Amino acid sequence: MPNQKLRVAIAGLGRMGKRHAANFALTPRVTVVAASTPDEREREWAAENLEGVKTYHDYEEMLEKEDLQAVVVASVTAVHAEQTLKAIEKGLHVLCEKPLSIDVGIAQSVVDAYNKSLQTHPDQKVMCGFSRRFDASYREAFARIAQGDYGQPVVFRSQTADLLDSSGFFVEYAKTSGGIFVDCSIHDIDLMLWFFGEDRQIKSLQAVGVAAVHPGLEISNDRDNALATIEFVGGRIASLYCSRMMAAGQEDTTEIICTKGSLRVNMEGRKNHVEIHDSMGARRELPQHYYERFREAFVTEALEFTACCLDNKPTPITLQSSVKAVTVGQALQRSLVTGEKLVFNEEGVVE
């Protein structure tokens, strides 16, 4: 139904919620009708910036009073699963920011609830928002490999490296984030599962890290720099790097090495195509934060999620894959803290 508009609510109006609210407000087939947040300042922002959108302090009250079709869950990670479950119970479509949860069991409970809901709401769509899958460059790399011209992918190298934050935000955030691999590397883990295959079995993994500029992270068993090696059954390996101390800006890069060639995404990061030549030399600037690099991917995500809901199309990311991403991230965090190499059995369980 091309003229139908999806009635959407936004849960959470922090940095990510504001971005989703702005994107969905500009999506042609969407009407953003409501938003919820317990933060008074965020509700004031909504009143000033989201014309015609009713704001609520309480998420459940919003679900009860508004005539909704879909919810975008962009609240703090700790309530992702809880808010998603409540929307699923009402038969609503859900786009939940990553991760579904920092706990594998809770994340799986979301999948189980969704599968049960499909029995009475067969057209319901629930998806976790891994934004890089909607980035044009990553999609081109995936499509080229899928064509088979480069042979089989064998080595996957990827990093998420955030601009140095001197405010101490990450030290406080680490208390509920699940750790650097669950929070920061979860995008790289999702890409790894996408390029290697969501069902490919992991043989072993190991992680190491250091708190180089934020020593307070160690109180939460977290680090601001970490490296991981993941070995798959069948001879494929992945190397992941995550950091929270880049001086120049956001540096997110990926390389997929295949038997007949390799593809690289953003290996020479740039904010745009401007080059600066002055007394300090020649240089290009980098994006200063994640959204600046992946702004268009978020727009595409909003457009495609809307089409999935209104046109009953399958979501481009399975919910079970999002659970596996949490499983890998949690295992890497365990290895990071304990120093152990984790070996998996044929059932995918750590021995």
- Are 209 and 112 contained in the same domain? no
CB 84 within 8 A of CB 111: no
The predicted pLDDT at position 2 comes to 59
Residue 301 lies in a domain: no
For residue 145, the Cα-to-chain-centroid distance in whole angstroms is: 22
Tell me how long the chain is: 351
Instruction: Let me know whether 259 and 192 are in one domain.
Output: yes
pLDDT band, residue 300 (cuts 50/70/90): very high
**Residue range(s) defining the domain that contains residue 147:** 132-296+325-343
Taking only Cα atoms into account, the Rg of the chain, rounded to an integer number of angstroms, comes to 20
- Per the prediction, the chain carries an average pLDDT of 95
Q: How many helices (H) and strands (E) does the chain have?
A: 11, 15
- Per-residue confidence (pLDDT) for residue 1, from 0 to 100: 53
Domain-embedded: residue 158: yes
| 109-123, 133-147, 267-281: range with lowest mean pLDDT | 267-281
Percent of the chain with pLDDT over 70: 99
Distance of alpha carbon 124 from alpha carbon 58, whole angstroms: 24
Is residue 112 a part of any domain in this protein?
A: yes
Q: What is the mean pLDDT of residues 255-282?
A: 92
195 with 248, same domain: the answer is yes
Per DSSP, helices labelled H in the chain are 15-25, 40-49, 59-65, 80-89, 104-117, 136-146, 169-177, 180-183, 186-196, 290-311, 319-338
The residue with greater pLDDT, 68 or 4, is 68
- Kindly report, residue by residue over 38-83, the tens digit of the pLDDT: 999 999 999 999 999 999 999 999 999 999 999 999 999 999 999 9
Same domain, 197 and 273: yes
Question: Is 274 contained in some domain?
Answer: yes
Same domain as 223, residue 76: no
Same domain, 55 and 89: yes
For residues 90 and 231, membership in a common domain is answered with no
CB atoms within 10 A of CB 257: 16
Indicate if 118 and 174 belong to the same structural domain: no
Q: How many domains does the chain have?
A: 2
CATH of the domain at 30: 3.40.50.720
Give the 3-state secondary structure percentages of the chain, helix then strand then coil, rounded to 5.
40, 25, 35
**pLDDT bracket for residue 351 (50, 70, 90):** confident
161-204 pLDDT, tens digit each: 999 988 888 888 788 889 999 999 999 999 999 999 999 999 99
CA 213 distance to own-chain centroid: 25
Q: What is the CATH number of the domain that holds 254?
A: 3.30.360.10
pLDDT at residue 267 above 60? yes
Which of 70, 104, 128 is the last residue in one of the domains? Answer: 128
Same domain, 252 and 167: yes
Per-residue pLDDT at 166 = 85
**122 and 265 share one domain:** no
Average pLDDT over residues 124-149: 97
Q: Are residues 87 and 172 in the same domain?
A: no
Q: pTM score, two decimals? A: 0.94
What value does the mean pLDDT take over residues 89-99? Answer: 97
166 and 289 fall within a common domain? yes
